[in-house]
Chains A and B, each alone.
Chain A
């Protein structure tokens, strides 16, 4: 088990390092000039470049940058938020995004599980049909469309919730973005849970458990849920990614100062902010690789087939 964990962690760190390096190189060899040439003379630019170490070998630059990153120092933006260190801007953004995203994941997962389990237990009946329709709807309509719908109806026509995100009414302004972000998670998990459970219900080992005399709640808790839920862990990683992507638009629409909106501002604004692109790229990659690692480890813990290595002996 320890070997498994170490191997996974090592792989994840290595992958992250490679990606970070690639990002760094790509962003540093960007075409064009990070300094507004009309406001600076050639000499000034040359001085500035030397001062910032842009003429050093790329590996030296990367080492210097990473040393900063490890202390949370990402430098300053090239066109966004002049003067403010990226670290400060980013930490506010992260806290906003994580709260909303966290609630969305939590609500989506729990509600999705509940819905999926209910559907599987009432296979072929009303709740099953409802779950199917709901999950189709949730997968077919992007989260930002839900937000637009909620915003139009419950903030504009009936001004109950704030129309834009208001940090002073945090809890209240979280409802609509979190809810719309959670719908995709919810429907995916509901559909997956339902299908996994139905499959487990049809499995030979559940038949054996029934033939032992297990039924009802005991059967579901001991043999069905555990086996059905293990594979669900694997959909969590892609779901987090979808959530991050969805958050981009949701934050833009709802005016939330989060990492998604920051990303939009960095790439879709007038000038591209290279340093923000780099910092956010590292952040997103870390998040993604971290989640995938977590899922891998969790799977290892939950599934004895990975936790305990096989040593079959013929009998």
Chain B
């Protein structure tokens, strides 16, 4: 760092000539008390921090936008996600909108001044159509909806399982904790792939398999965090006080401690959701996930891959949606983590 050295005196107000009346006591005023931020509520402070973080806000916007489109997107085009778009041409023969590149008629008109030609000239296909003639805009957002639903459902269930497990294990400690932690260790030593492959024996391929596979693996991380938080909070005075007053275990665990573990758990949730989306995409791509005619981000990428040499644009929308979801949730997670445990330099 270049140090600027000005040897001149620092900027100071011109020497003040004191007058007589200046030497009166200042009375009848409040001694100034804390100007700090201690009076602020905890969650208000966290939120304030979160929204000051540019990346976190970007993440939030991205995720909100995708959720918005996942909800209303499929309805905007007027095509169903499994509808094959077809019409009749001038010879009254049925034609199917196979492999049409992205097109927006009014934009074409505006740019070229010509009326778009062809049987589907007047149709809007924002993302084009696939090899079977289905509208990709609809399919992309429908797929995003499926992927998000899977992620939210599983992660919420995992959160409940993992938190209960971790809180109970950490709260009771001793033998119970020991046994429960050995179990976690073993469960954690089974690669997710192996769990999926065994599940594939017992379950039909499809959304169920994806959800169960995620349920079996994602709770572990949550339980570890919940347990660590529990161990930290357990020894604090207010819990001790509650215990000496004779509160029931369930009261202490779920009323006194649980609310204080929420922060780190929500952060973990924000990191688990992209993992779930990633896993779903991966399983569907491999062929044990979502099955036809359903679609998800994973199957859309697979479709795109299968048609890449003929319809190269087809793979882009699901990939972009996937990447944006990952990015958005990771940003939100990072932002939450920083907001919950701010470092001095971010203040």
Contacts and interface: CB of A to CB of B under 8 A. Distances in A.
A and B touch in the complex (CB under 8 A): yes
A285 B319 CA distance: 30
Contact of B330 (A23, A140, A263, A280): A140
A104 interface: no
Q: Interface residue tally of chain B, by bracket?
A: 35 or more
A128 to B, nearest CB: 15
Interface of A: 11, 15-16, 18-19, 23, 26-27, 30-31, 136-137, 139-142, 144-145, 148, 151-152, 156, 241, 244-245, 248-249, 252-253, 263-264, 266-268, 272, 274, 277, 280-281, 284-285, 287-289, 292
Given A145-B301, A156-B309, A248-B282, A15 B186 contact: yes
Residue of A137, A139, A142, A274 ringed by the most chain B CB atoms within 10 A? A142
B54 to A, nearest CB: 13
B198 to A, nearest CB: 5
A26 B185 CA distance: 20
A134 B186 CA distance: 35
Contact of B189 (A15, A30, A31, A141): A15
A267 B192 contact: no
B286 A248 contact: yes
Interface string B315-347: 100010011101100100000000000000000
Contact of A277 (B190, B201, B305): B201
18 contacts: A11-B185, A15-B185, A18-B186, A19-B189, A26-B198, A26-B202, A137-B323, A248-B282, A249-B286, A267-B196, A267-B288, A268-B205, A274-B201, A277-B197, A280-B194, A281-B194, A281-B197, A281-B198
B305 A253 contact: yes
Nearest to A267: B200
B201 A26 contact: yes
A263 B326 contact: no
B246 interface: no
Given A145-B301, A156-B309, A285-B189, 7 more contacts: A19-B190, A30-B202, A140-B330, A148-B308, A268-B200, A272-B200, A285-B190
A141 B197 contact: no
Given A31-B202, A145-B301, A140 B189 contact: no
A252 B287 CA distance: 11
Contacts of A19: 186, 189-190, 194
A145 B319 contact: yes
B210 to A, nearest CB: 13
B208 interface: no
A267 B196 CA distance: 9
B212 to A, nearest CB: 14
A235 to B, nearest CB: 14
Contacts of B197: 263, 266-267, 277, 280-281
A140 B286 contact: no
B278 A142 contact: yes
B191 A288 contact: yes
A288 B194 CA distance: 11
A90 to B, nearest CB: 15
Contacts of A137: 323
Contacts of B201: 26-27, 30-31, 267, 272, 274, 277
Interface of B: 185-186, 189-194, 196-198, 200-202, 205, 278, 281-282, 285-288, 301, 305, 308-309, 312, 315, 319, 322-324, 326-327, 330
B191 A241 contact: yes
Contacts of B193: 244-245, 248, 263, 284
Nearest to A144: B285
Contacts of A141: 319, 322-323, 326
A11 B189 CA distance: 11
A23 B199 CA distance: 11
Contacts of A252: 286
Nearest to B305: A148
A139 B278 CA distance: 10
A277 B198 contact: yes
B315 A264 contact: no
A278 to B, nearest CB: 9
A140 B286 CA distance: 19
B243 to A, nearest CB: 31
Nearest to A247: B193
A119 B20 CA distance: 61
Contact of B194 (A23, A145, A152): A23
A204 to B, nearest CB: 14
A315 to B, nearest CB: 28
A18 B198 CA distance: 15
Given A272-B200, A285-B189, A264 B287 contact: yes
B314 to A, nearest CB: 11
B112 to A, nearest CB: 27
A140 B285 CA distance: 17
A294 to B, nearest CB: 13
